[in-house]
Chains A and B, each alone.
Chain A
Amino acid sequence: MRAMQIFNSGFFWFIEGILCVVMILGLRAFMRERGIPMPAWKWVVFGVWVLFAGFTIAFVGTSLGEGEPTAATRGGLLFGLIAVIGGAGAWRALVSGRDPGERAQVTDS
């Protein structure tokens, strides 16, 4: 129980922030490799989806921690379904505007 308290600490959010930055860098590298432009609106779409998916996971965890397995199951199914469908839509939006010819010109920076 005491060990779990690290997840309620500022240190946890510091680590979570680092992981978030690495995730963004990974997405940027992936998109560059495929020559897919990433204007600001795509980052907003990505950010909203990450927040919603994160909310879903945290909701399930919190409900289990509170001793509310029904809320965890039903919330996980409802929000999870929305996250999956939303994720598919968000992915299509993210990979839109792909220019295959651009891939060769992109270099690491």
Chain B
Amino acid sequence: MSDSDSGTNPNRRDFIKIAGVASAAAGGAGLGMFGYAAGQDPASYLGWQNQEGASLIFERKHYEVDVPTYEKIGPTSRPDARVENIFDRRGSFMRQLRSGGEFEEPLKSYYEKHPEDLELDRLSAEEIIPKRMADEAEYGDRFFLSQAWSDAMGAVGPDPIDSPPEENDFPRDRRGTPIEPVKLKGPEMTARLIKKLAMQFGSTLVGITELNPDWVYAYPLRRRGFENPDEPLEVPEHWKYAIVVGTPMSWDPMYANPNYGTSNDAYSRSRIIATRLEAFIKALGYPARTHIPGNSYDLMVPPIAIDAGLGQQGRHGVLITPELGSNFRPAVVTTNIPMKTDRPIDIGVEDFCKHCKICAEVCPSGSITMEGKVEVRGYRRYAIDTAKCLNFWMSNLGNMGCRLCVSACPYTRKANWLHKSAVRITAADPTGLSDRALTGLQKSFYPGPDPEDYYIPSLGGDNASYREPPWWLRTEDFIDLG
């Protein structure tokens, strides 16, 4: 409509007023579209974009501290992997159960001290696994695609180490002659090079620390090539430094835990990164040894990642990083190549986890404590009932594992403006007020199924997922299930 048609001729001020209102409306609509685009932005799927270190979006320098945020309160001891690593213990339990007779050492002494764990280990073998197998026949089809995807992701990856440090770690040429180490131009330059290479190999985060021997197993895991796993593991001198690398699990399936997500995708990539890094360091003439997921370690990884400045330990026992939250599957390379180390950080996780407790509320098996910290081998930490945790894993349809505590952790959010701002606010706020406010909003805005719903039907649940699976894992949309 023209001015002459309408019979009006708005003056300049009226025009500006109308333009102002129109701009407000357009600006508001634009912000809505910005938000929608940010919520779907492929760049927010951190860790899957490039090899240039673009995932290091958090400025750690402001949050560096002199000592790690875990608390040492007494004489420390190293963990016995044969009984304290739940996978190794459960493996021994199943083998010895099948062979009949009495349990052998060290299992026998462990069960005498921890009869509740014997009960839980028995429960798994005698009740949970048979029920899972029965339910699998009835309900398992739904997870066919996610299992196929998980198998495919796990199909690629180097074999775990199967020889002891003195054989595996030292570089040799094809004739078996030891390789002389190259002369390096200083620890700072070497650390820079190693970090760049780790990123180049696909690592999302990388940190370097001197290895604290407390984190090395007192007795090794059986599959690590030690001739006699019942002999104590002496920490080799050349395990001076630990380089921590790793990647997140694919974000959308991870939110659809416990049954659609998988650890295999991140495990596979972390294994490849660590193995390439080991090869690179050996090519420089220095010894190196990988400690990689699923369960091929001579040490515990989360505290090493804390020492290396990648994050802090949460109530659920998992490392929480500012970039990826709990969605980080690390691997470690031990070496003696001289490097400048990183400093630990304090981004406020200790205080946040004290109030939050969402992981403990979500956990179907009740493995995560609602109480305060306890002493474990001379350090204060939240207690995790690993036997209960593994029993839920074993009961679960779809992909092996659970990972619900990872999905529900408020830090585990994609890298968009909203969630990254929240992390920065909690990290910078010394009062704790923002922790409480954000926890309240998290519980109100992001509810999930009731914990018992995650169980299989024969254990009283309905195979619930924390979030709906992504379209490409919905078996019923692609395969005729008959």
Interface residues of chain A, those whose CB is within 8 Å of chain B, are 1, 4-8, 12, 15-16, 18-20, 22-27, 29-30, 32-33, 53-54, 57-68, 70-71, 74-75, 108
Contact = CB atoms under 8 A, between A and B. Distances in A.
Residue of B32, B43, B468 ringed by the most chain A CB atoms within 10 A: B32
B200 interface: no
Contacts of A67: 39, 467-468
A76 B306 CA distance: 37
Contacts of B152: none
Contacts of A7: 30, 33-34, 36-38
A5 B26 CA distance: 17
Contacts of A4: 33, 36-37, 40
A29 B35 contact: no
Given A58-B31, A74-B445, A65 B37 contact: yes
B38 A23 contact: no
Given A25-B16, A59-B418, A67-B467, A8 B34 contact: yes
Interface stretch (B17-25, B127-135, B336-344, B400-408): B17-25
Contact of B32 (A23, A26, A29, A57): A57
B32 A58 contact: yes
A8 B446 CA distance: 24
Contact-size category for B: 35 or more
A94 to B, nearest CB: 13
10 contacts: A7-B33, A12-B30, A57-B31, A58-B32, A59-B35, A61-B35, A65-B37, A65-B39, A68-B446, A71-B445
Given A12-B34, A19-B26, A62-B35, 15 more contacts: A19-B24, A19-B30, A26-B18, A26-B21, A26-B23, A29-B16, A30-B17, A61-B32, A61-B39, A62-B418, A65-B37, A70-B447, A71-B446, A74-B444, A108-B12
Contacts of B291: none
A7 B33 CA distance: 6
Nearest to B35: A61
Given A26-B17, A30-B17, A30-B20, A61 B28 contact: no
Nearest to A33: B13
A20 B23 contact: yes
Nearest to B470: A67
- What 8 A-B pairs are tightest by C-beta distance, nearest first? A26-B20, A65-B39, A61-B35, A58-B35, A7-B37, A71-B445, A62-B35, A22-B23
B36 A61 contact: yes
B27 interface: yes
SS class, residues of chain B in contact with chain A: helix
Interface in B449-482: 467-468
B417 interface: yes
B168 interface: no
A70 B443 CA distance: 11
A16 B17 contact: no
A68 B19 contact: no
B84 interface: no
Given A4-B37, A74-B444, A22 B19 contact: yes
Contacts of A57: 28, 31-32, 35
Contact of A66 (B26, B32, B40): B40
A29 B20 contact: yes
B350 interface: no
Interface string B35-52: 111111101000000000
Contacts of B30: 7, 12, 15-16, 19
A57 B39 CA distance: 13
B80 to A, nearest CB: 43
Nearest to B468: A67
Interface in B200-240: none
B20 A27 contact: yes
A26 B417 contact: no
Interface string B89-106: 000000000000000000
A5 B38 CA distance: 8
Given A7-B36, A62-B416, A74-B444, A20 B12 contact: no
Residue of A5, A8, A30, A64 ringed by the most chain B CB atoms within 10 A: A8
A108 B13 CA distance: 7
A61 B38 contact: yes
A29 B289 CA distance: 71
A23 B37 contact: no
Contacts of A58: 31-32, 34-35, 38, 417-418
Contacts of A16: 27, 30-31, 34
A88 B207 CA distance: 51
A60 B444 CA distance: 15
Residue of A6, A65, A108 ringed by the most chain B CB atoms within 10 A: A65
B40 A65 contact: yes
A7 B35 CA distance: 8
B271 interface: no
A107 to B, nearest CB: 10
Contacts of A18: 23
Contacts of A60: 32, 35
A65 B35 contact: yes
